[in-house]
Structure 1
């Protein structure tokens, strides 16, 4: 397991969780032994918003493959996709494409630095693995610990980047004000997720927008996780009256096919011409074609409403079942990307036991549940019935650690424990 931290089996139950799949379709996956599971877990870590192997998206991609996905010329679909993204976000004028979320966040920060001639960044939330972000942990114990993943080591990040990235917590406008008081004239960007666990406090984004304007910093909204969960576009369009200067999309944009985008105002995006941002595989045809098909189906089916409804059913089910069985849990997250955590003794062992018990019932499940369009009410009913049995067993068991067939899940996702 070398590619994605979020898919490592030790994030679930090492020795029990099936690490590899042979097939995926709709809301089901098959492991290498041919076992079929209803997937009520991380939904391709949020990438497959429509469901696995969506027939409409896959058909569009097959047509693109048949027509050729790379040549000495550019694909016209990237222009069509840029137009579509700007129509969905009328405040945006220009678009640059990538293929992954982390790289495109790095692209956005580079453009912001080029536009302002400044180096420093204030940020809130999780924004990937690149140097600009991990620089916050240089010379500190754990500056990123409040931003999804604790304990990220900045090994390999140039030490000269120390003092260039400063975190503030969601809804803590006072922390951003303190950063600006110390570094405002050197601040290139303010980067934030529109939402993850907490609802935005009244006036929070308006205050962030005002601070960005007063300092001349570029306001970047990271929609990599939240995008396409509430609507066909950015969550910021639902949550806030104000608009950012740039927004970054990935994950759900291509329903599992690699494609990402940074959209922005012309006054900022034009700075991309004055710096070097370029990569061969950003020009393949598959990414834009998959994104166009995903956006079309997402909008036509009003997928955002479905995701919120499915997530609401799941969160309500968790809470009701835990109360029924006397289990101490807390439930959180935005509805389309829900999570719960066991409280009290042995929380990680209880999580591992829950995973083990759910796998035994033919369901791939963790304490995270990312909704997909492919999830039906019947899937939710099946899932919650299995949760009922698992919660009952966990509540009655006095020695949970002794029941584990594998190692309990590793810690690391501090805000999703």
Structure 2
């Protein structure tokens, strides 16, 4: 047992679930073997507790580090905060500068609020939007966090969120009185949304701009039109998609403006900062309710975000990671074809992934993770691309992946893949990372 797994066993005895984020649980990757903990990280390299170096061709801290780990200018800005002081009785001036910067990037928006995690930013957006619309009903499409308002979709219908990336989720602890307040609709299913608006008292439409597929022609504009016609607040959740394919929100590419947008993950390159931006007429409703938290006023988050935005703009990171992601996707397809394998690719270019269809899919994912770990990679079937995934890094990754695909081809020809595993098959249940 490696040091990481030993510590993970200790963690599960004192922390429910072992950690704070489902996506980082070792069982989601390689049960009993995954290193679990890191000692340091730089660029695209992560060192575990035994100082073994691994190239991260996986989730890059679940999408937070589009500039790579330890970006010099971002870290320098944060060190300046540590020297000058992170918290005081007075406010951090950088939050004003960040609000102005985000509004300037999104001319339809006029105001911003900040938090430190995506779930709470989405909860803030829902609170404001409900206050602004005067109606409780929310139509949702996508994954929007862990708070009660969202998990209420599974009250009375345990399968309510099955098509929204959290299959089988039990809403234990969510007040039963919230049943009938949140209504899922499928992406690109305009008729389902129209039915919800007709049948329910919908005051808010909250959706991801794009998930695993592109919007159908006219879909986003039609959603905008429905919201306008019924006085509904339209929120685009760009916690994951923001700053990956455009300098700002993905919605800028499609030319459809929401009433509010939520940003997170990439905004601080690993430092905690999330944002809710919106039209003044909607955002002013925050003053009619209570939304307030001490640590939303700390200084590191906005300083890191401002430095990250500067660094992104300097290297045009969204163009770099989009092109790299497309190259990785193409090479997966070519490598699979060369071994006679069928794969399905998915996701935004900079959040690319693949799966091997069939019942053996989870087994193959586990086998890939296992063999790539032996080769010095944190890797599975998804790559969250960063600017440090340079061509030589990608080339070496595919050199290591080639024999693994060859092994899978042998299994497709009759070899038992489970006999090749050194431990259990990885868990599933969070489809974005499957």
The TM-score bracket by the shorter chain reads: over 0.9
Kindly indicate whether the alpha-carbon contact (under 8 Å) linking 2:23 and 2:433 is maintained by their aligned counterparts in 1: no
The TM-score, its normalising length taken from structure 2, stands at 0.94
Query: What does residue 45 of structure 1 align with?
Result: 62
List aligned pairs for 1:363-402, cutoff 5 A.
363-397=377-411, 398-402=415-419
Deviation string, structure 1 residues 141-184 (Cα, Å, up to 9, x no partner): 3110111121111100000000000001111111101101101x
Give the drift of 1:345.
Answer: 4.1
Q: Give the secondary-structure state (helix, strand or coil) at the position aligned to 2:127.
A: helix
**Whole-angstrom CA distance in 1 between matches of 2:275 and 2:357:** 39
Kindly indicate whether the alpha-carbon contact (under 8 Å) linking 1:313 and 1:380 is maintained by their aligned counterparts in 2: no
The TM-score, its normalising length taken from structure 1, stands at 0.98
**Whole-angstrom CA distance in 2 between matches of 1:407 and 1:299:** 44
Give the drift of 1:29.
Answer: 0.3
**Whole-angstrom CA distance in 2 between matches of 1:310 and 1:410:** 28
Please point out which of 195, 207, 212 is paired with 1:192. 207
Kindly indicate whether the alpha-carbon contact (under 8 Å) linking 2:354 and 2:381 is maintained by their aligned counterparts in 1: yes
Please point out which of 267, 285, 290 is paired with 2:299. 285
Give the drift of 1:67.
Answer: 0.5
**Whole-angstrom CA distance in 1 between matches of 2:399 and 2:171:** 43
**Whole-angstrom CA distance in 1 between matches of 2:188 and 2:291:** 33
**Whole-angstrom CA distance in 1 between matches of 2:386 and 2:166:** 24
Query: What does residue 99 of structure 1 align with?
Result: 116
**Whole-angstrom CA distance in 1 between matches of 2:23 and 2:237:** 18
Give the drift of 1:327.
Answer: 1.9
**Whole-angstrom CA distance in 2 between matches of 1:172 and 1:307:** 30
Please point out which of 358, 362, 380 is paired with 1:344. 358
Query: What does residue 38 of structure 2 align with?
Result: 21
Query: What does residue 270 of structure 2 align with?
Result: 256
**Whole-angstrom CA distance in 2 between matches of 1:359 and 1:409:** 14
Query: What does residue 73 of structure 2 align with?
Result: 56
Considering Cα pairs closer than 8 Å and 6+ residues apart, tell me whether 1 or 2 has the greater RCO: 1
Kindly indicate whether the alpha-carbon contact (under 8 Å) linking 1:328 and 1:344 is maintained by their aligned counterparts in 2: no
The answer to whether 1:219 aligns with 2:234 is: yes
Kindly indicate whether the alpha-carbon contact (under 8 Å) linking 2:196 and 2:202 is maintained by their aligned counterparts in 1: no
Give the drift of 1:344.
Answer: 2.8
**Whole-angstrom CA distance in 2 between matches of 1:79 and 1:414:** 37
List aligned pairs for 1:7-406, cutoff 5 A.
7-183=24-200, 186-238=201-253, 240-397=254-411, 398-406=415-423
Give the drift of 1:320.
Answer: 0.7
**Whole-angstrom CA distance in 2 between matches of 1:256 and 1:215:** 39
Give the drift of 1:415.
Answer: 5.2
**Whole-angstrom CA distance in 1 between matches of 2:323 and 2:115:** 31
Count of residue correspondences: 414
Kindly indicate whether the alpha-carbon contact (under 8 Å) linking 2:158 and 2:170 is maintained by their aligned counterparts in 1: no
Deviation string, structure 1 residues 282-336 (Cα, Å, up to 9, x no partner): 0000000000000111011100011111101110111111111122221111110
Kindly indicate whether the alpha-carbon contact (under 8 Å) linking 1:147 and 1:415 is maintained by their aligned counterparts in 2: no
When structure 1 is superposed on structure 2, of 394-403 and 361-370 the one drifting more is 394-403
**Whole-angstrom CA distance in 1 between matches of 2:23 and 2:166:** 10
**Whole-angstrom CA distance in 1 between matches of 2:336 and 2:21:** 31
Q: Where do 5+ consecutive residues of structure 1 fail to align? A: none
